[in-house]
Structure 1
Amino acid sequence: MPLEHSHAPDDIADRLRDGPNISYLRDWVYGGIDGAVTTFAIVAGSLGANLSSTIVLILGLANLLADGFSMAAANYSGTKTEEADYHRLQSIEEKHIRLEPDGEREEIRQIYKAKGYEGQELESLVAIITSRRQTWIETMMQEEYGLGSAQRSAMKAAIATFAAFIICGSLPLLPFVFGWQASGLITSLSTACAFFLIGSIKAKWSTQSWYMSGLETTAIGMAAAGIAWIVGYLLHGLVT
């Protein structure tokens, strides 16, 4: 079974020098699924209400741009909030290390004692970690708050969400843009394929099989669209 990366000394040095690889996968998956779900739900609801193709297209495009921007803006704000909270906690640890270093050393000692270290080995480990302020702070951030030093870019997260939303959310609208016959059926099939593709790609970063992940994502997306179609059908029945 092949390994994921090389363990040659030079390759290790290069990999560590580049720093951790920050993933924006969740932003792509989140934006892609939501874009396909919400746009397809609008299309399905409109078809259930027996609206014209022009109205379906107008509603779909309005959702595609407005909701896509809204999601990107929300993701940007949320990521910025996480970044601000990290710096807030970091400043707290810096102050505590400056004003109460013995207490902070005791925290390090108890953290690694809980991991199974004891005696001289534990004391040596505490001395090594607390000998460098930055290492000390990063250790406290990781062990006390569960926060890593690698911070996600709010702008990159927002762009990933918006791009995935627009790309996947466009699929349910394409049949109406080109005026294809049986637009509803084509939209359903193309969107189901998009859901399956997103789920399958997502499985690359998990232990779930690609086809099960694809089927799970497809089921979630189509269920949302089914609910929207039923609502549109019932409302159409009320006004006719």
Structure 2
Amino acid sequence: MPTDKARRQQLRQEHRPENIARRLQQPPEPRRLSDLVLGAIDGCITTFAIVCGAYGAGFPSSVVVVMGIANLIADGFSMAVSNYEAVGAEQHFFESARRTEEQHIELVPEGEREEIRQIFAAKGFRGESLELIVNTVTSDRRLWVDTMLQEEYGLSRVFPNAFASAWWTFIAFVVVGLIPLTPFLFSGLTQTQEFVGSALLAGVVFIAIGLVKGVVNRTARLRSAFRTFLLGGGAAALAFCVGYLLRQAFNF
């Protein structure tokens, strides 16, 4: 870990005028972490929940494999499509809001200027400074619209690629979701050994995902790992209980 002195020196270097200018000129890139984490957690939970439910119900290993892989592909595709549609809907809303603001500026420019004035007055600007900001923003139509979208709607001009979001969600869902099924793909293990192996692998996956989230988001790693482990473990325990109760109720 870098010392405070080294970290301070690094920050000073990053905040030199030329480095700031270079950084601001680069368009911000949408983060893929949320897509990967969402797909990985849901994939592992979905598969391990099937494992727990089938084991609790007393189903044979072949049923676990068939149900697990079928649900993995189907649910992964469904989740990818949902993510694609969600990103697309957000982009459509952004474009609709942009058209609305452009129309308002065209029809009632003074009213829109007043909105800009009140927005920056709420930030603490007064007098000549406030009027200078209002005149600067409203002199550039694109800046004017972008400012209204950000301040009034809370919208950003940067969107993830809908196809890429769907693709990475699907890949993370399937790849990570396969891990709890791997013990059932090996012959020579008893069903109890398969279940225990699946549980251990799922636990490792949940902890690993939590640690990655903690590192990337710069939050407490152990707390993040523990929360993710509880989330996955809770869903699996619920599935096991449902399977066991149904087995007892219907004498599977």
Same fold per superposition (TM over 0.5): yes
Other-structure match for 2:144: 136
User: Residues 62-211 of structure 1 correspond to what in structure 2 (within 5 A)?
Assistant: 62-179=70-187, 181=189, 182-211=193-222
Shift of 1:207: 4.9
Residue 95 of structure 1: SS of its match in structure 2?
Answer: helix
Matched, 1:212 2:223: yes
Name which of 10, 31, 44 aligns with 1:36: 44
Deviates more, 1:186-195 or 1:97-106: 97-106
* Alignment coverage as a number of residue pairs: 240
Which amino acid letter does the alignment assign opposite residue 26 of structure 1? S
Task: Write the distance in 1 (CA, Å) between the matches of 2:246 and 2:130.
Answer: 69
Shift of 1:17: 2.1
1: CA distance, partners of 2:37 / 2:23: 26
CA distance 1:139–1:44, shift in 2 (3 Å)? same
Structure 1 counterpart of 2:24, one-letter code: L
* Counterpart AA for 2:123: K
Is 1:55 aligned to 2:63, yes or no? yes
- One of 17, 25, 29 as aligned partner of 1:21: 29
Query: TM-score under structure 2 normalisation?
Result: 0.91
Distance, in Å, in 2 between the alignment partners of 1:64 and 1:103 is 53
Superposition RMSD in Å: 1.4
Q: Distance in 1 between matches of 2:204 and 2:16?
A: 41
* Cα deviation digits, residues 143-186 of structure 1 (max 9, x gap): 00001111221111111211111121111111112236211001
The CA distance in 2 between the partners of 1:17 and 1:123, in whole Å, is: 27
Equivalent in the alignment of 1:235: 246
Name stretches of at least 5 consecutive residues in structure 2 with no aligned partner: none
What displacement does 1:239 show?
2.8
1:14-46 CA-to-partner distances (Å, cap 9, x unmatched) read 322221121121111111111111110001100
